[in-house]
Amino acid sequence: MAAQQIHNPVLLTKVCNDILPTASTLQKWNYQETDECVLCHQHEDRDHLIRCNGTSRLLWRIKFIVALRKTLIKKKTHWQLSDVICTSLTEWMDEGYVDIRNYHEDFHLAITAQNKIGWRNFFAGKISQQWLNLHDLFSNNKCKHSQSYVWGASIVETTLQLMIDLWNLRNEEVHGKTANEKEQKRKHRLLKKIDECFAKITEMRPSDRCLMPENRDTFVESSTSNDLAEWLASHQKMIKNSIDKWKKRSEKGSRNIGDCLKTFSAKNKEILENIYTRHRDRLMHDAWNKKK
Ligand SMILES: [Zn+2]
């Protein structure tokens, strides 16, 4: 019933089944290297989205409780029941648990039941039947069953809608809001890998070093995020292969053919350049082929 009111079935399914592609999930699937929250650098999973202490998330928590209170008032909920629901959810968001001793015993059955289901699951739309029973108890309406069912569905609807808002907010923070912001953020995320590549230049086989851009800053500034991603796709493997080949040669202790030829004529220079070009072509070719 609550699901019918929210017009984003894909996202709704992800929220309800706890399969939002958070940083920790993406890392698990090898889509990215980090599991960090963009705001506080802690491990980002579904619960962290809600419990993160970044300013925007603190504001979201207030927004959620305000929206929930509004729904509860609209659905003519007894003030005590409203208070307990909002306070216990706030306690879970702040502390990560709900201490039953802080609440009147009339509400213990519902709190214990929600403890068993898991408060985190409240945010996936799984609320205890005991809350509905309490609403029945507090209200004097007839046709109680359908009344409490509609009441429960409206709580779930508000919660899921706010979870979708939270996910959209998180995505804006991670990927940017405008196209320009998205491009800048994507570029920024790729820079770590780009810098790792540049740091390895001195370990590469000397004849391959010219495959690297001359100036890191000019290269980054003049490239789009797509250019950088493509460059990484073709060069990361090549750099590794070049380092491996150079290491092997150093271990064997053999003298670089270039060093021998350099001491001879200009003709040798040309031969040498041909050899180097062949090496480099093979390196790039191997890097692409092994990727496929
Ligand atoms: Zn965080």
165 C-alpha to center of ligand 1: Å?
16
57 C-alpha to center of ligand 1: Å?
8
CA–CA distances in Å: residue 155 to residues 53, 78, 206, 248, 250: 24, 14, 66, 65, 68
53 C-alpha to center of ligand 1: Å?
6
Q: Give me the pLDDT at residue 292, please.
A: 45
Q: Give me the pLDDT at residue 160, please.
A: 96
Burial of 259: CB neighbours in 10 Å, binned 0-12, 13-18, 19+: exposed
Give the lowest-confidence range in 101-105, 150-154, 270-274: 270-274
> What is the four-CA torsion angle of 162, 168, 170, 176, rounded to 10 degrees?
-150
Q: Give me the pLDDT at residue 24, please.
A: 92
55 C-alpha to center of ligand 1: Å?
10
User: Phi and psi dihedrals of 280, rounded to 5?
Assistant: -65, -40
164 C-alpha to center of ligand 1: Å?
17
Is-contact 83 102, C-beta < 8 A?
Answer: no
pLDDT top residue among 256 and 122: 122
Does position 39 have pLDDT exceeding 90, yes or no?
A: yes
144-175 and 9-16 helices, crossing angle to 10°: 100
Is-contact 131 82, C-beta < 8 A?
Answer: no
17 C-alpha to center of ligand 1: Å?
21
Distance between CA atoms of residues 32 and 224, nearest Å: 19
User: H helices of the chain, where?
Assistant: 2-5, 9-16, 23-28, 46-51, 55-74, 79-95, 108-117, 119-122, 129-138, 144-175, 179-199, 216-221, 225-252, 257-262, 266-291
Does position 162 have pLDDT exceeding 50, yes or no?
A: yes
161 C-alpha to center of ligand 1: Å?
21
pTM (predicted TM-score): 0.70
Q: Which two tokens stand for residue 267?
A: 């003709």
Q: What is the mean pLDDT of residues 76-94?
A: 96
139 C-alpha to center of ligand 1: Å?
40
